[in-house]
Amino acid sequence: MSELRTAAETAVQQCLELEGEESCVVVTDDEREPIGVALYEVVREVTDDATIVRYPPGEQHGAEPPAPVAAAMEGADAFLAPTTKSLSHTRARSDATDEGARGSTLPGITEEVFVTGLDADYDRIADECERTLERVADADEVRVTTDLGTDITFAVGDREWHDDTGDVSDPGSFSNLPAGEVFVSPESADGTYVVDGTMRPHGLLEGRELEFVVEDGLVTEISDDEIRAQVDEAADEVGDAAYNLAELGIGTNVGVTELVGSVLLDEKAAGTIHIAIGDNASIGGETEAPIHLDGIVRDPTVYADGEEIELPEA
């Protein structure tokens, strides 16, 4: 429990900077309860207005939590959400931050990732985010290539780049934990990307690649049967929104030296990029979907308006 406590202290004290007069809710589920309890215990030492709520794991990443959970998030000054399925791209999370709550989601977090990912120099991560933003923020077009066949071009348009530094001390601020990326919800994209790092439901990809073809901002071909089935199932509910090319992210967490099979941690690894399918309404886009599937790509070359940029290095 001591290792969990150290990580929890980092989240509550360094990232959230929780104060004694504030209210804070910890949202967790049956499978992540030990992490939720560790966070709650630290929160409880800071403020008397502390709450922990638990519910059964959601059916899919991006699925909305029960209404009482959403209300608890929206009504608090701060929240921390270690859950099996991601709440990052939900209306519950965006409604909460729109109302001024600040906090972090920890989707799919394991005790190992919690301990490893929170053992980082978040000041340095913030510096890497700032440097990376400077390299891409004004680009109209970003292209990513790899030796394995990735060659995809993103039309950024008027969409704004965001950073995920782990600092959620300002009202309405939001971050994943572990943190460390800059990302954008592009207006469109065309090309092919090959995931050779980590992707749900497979975890760490060892000696295999997953190929995706994108045309006019929609994923038109998926080489993997399981992932294609997930997307097709979501499409039965929301149509083409499920195939939306939702996000391009660049990892800036220089403390992550190798991929471990957790999307939450691996998408932050310095020197990688990740590309997501599905919902982007909560990150600056206009598409709502019940899925958000990230795929991590190793060893990319990234060009901003035709000029190769330097990526962070672990």
Confidence of residue 51 (pLDDT cuts 50, 70, 90): very high
Q: Are residues 50 and 166 in the same domain?
A: no
pLDDT mean over 165-184: 93
> Would you say residue 117 has pLDDT above 90?
no
pLDDT mean over 85-92: 90
pLDDT mean over 209-233: 97
pLDDT mean over 236-249: 97
> Would you say residue 127 has pLDDT above 70?
yes
Q: Are residues 196 and 109 in the same domain?
A: no
Q: Which of 60, 87, 118 is a domain's end point?
A: 118
Q: Are residues 154 and 113 in the same domain?
A: no
Exposed, middle or buried by CB within 10 Å (0-12, 13-18, 19+), for 24? buried
Asked whether residue 238 is assigned to any structural domain, the reply reads: yes
Q: Are residues 84 and 156 in the same domain?
A: no
pLDDT at residue 131, rounded to an integer: 96
> Would you say residue 63 has pLDDT above 90?
no
Percent of the chain whose predicted confidence (pLDDT) is above 90? 85
Range of the domain at 81: 1-118
**What's the mean per-residue pLDDT of the chain?**
94
Exposed, middle or buried by CB within 10 Å (0-12, 13-18, 19+), for 273? buried
Asked whether residue 314 is assigned to any structural domain, the reply reads: no
Query: How far is Cα of residue 61 from the mean position of the Cα atoms in its chain?
Result: 11
DSSP string for 181-222: EEEE--SEEEEEEEE-SEETTTEE-SS--EEEEEETTEEEEE
pLDDT at residue 276, rounded to an integer: 98
pLDDT mean over 307-313: 95
E-assigned strand segments in the chain: 24-29, 50-55, 78-83, 102-107, 141-145, 151-155, 162-164, 174-176, 181-184, 188-195, 198-199, 203-204, 210-215, 218-222, 245-251, 273-278, 292-297, 301-304, 307-308
Asked whether residue 234 is assigned to any structural domain, the reply reads: yes
Largest CA distance in the chain: 54
Q: Are residues 189 and 141 in the same domain?
A: yes
Q: Are residues 166 and 281 in the same domain?
A: yes
pTM: 0.82
Q: Are residues 281 and 251 in the same domain?
A: yes
Tens digits of residue pLDDT in 186-199: 999 999 999 999 99
Q: How many residues does the chain have?
A: 314
Asked whether residue 136 is assigned to any structural domain, the reply reads: yes
CATH number of the domain encompassing residue 106: 3.40.1830.10
> Would you say residue 38 has pLDDT above 80?
yes
Q: Are residues 205 and 216 in the same domain?
A: yes
Query: How far is Cα of residue 204 from the mean position of the Cα atoms in its chain?
Result: 17
Q: Which of 118, 145, 163 is a domain's end point?
A: 118
Q: Are residues 83 and 218 in the same domain?
A: no
Number of domains in the chain: 2
Q: Residue 100, by phi and psi: left (phi above 0), alpha (psi -120 to 50) or beta?
A: left
Q: Which of 118, 140, 163 is a domain's end point?
A: 118
> Would you say residue 4 has pLDDT above 90?
yes
Distance CA 229, CA 231 (A): 5
Q: Are residues 89 and 198 in the same domain?
A: no
Asked whether residue 224 is assigned to any structural domain, the reply reads: yes
Confidence of residue 1 (pLDDT cuts 50, 70, 90): low
Asked whether residue 11 is assigned to any structural domain, the reply reads: yes
pLDDT at residue 264, rounded to an integer: 86
Q: Are residues 184 and 252 in the same domain?
A: yes
> Would you say residue 306 has pLDDT above 90?
yes
Residue 152 CB neighbours (<10 A): 25
Asked whether residue 57 is assigned to any structural domain, the reply reads: yes
Q: With the C-alpha atoms ordered 42, 23, 113, 64, is the resulting torsion angle positive or negative?
A: positive
Q: Are residues 278 and 234 in the same domain?
A: yes
pLDDT mean over 105-132: 90
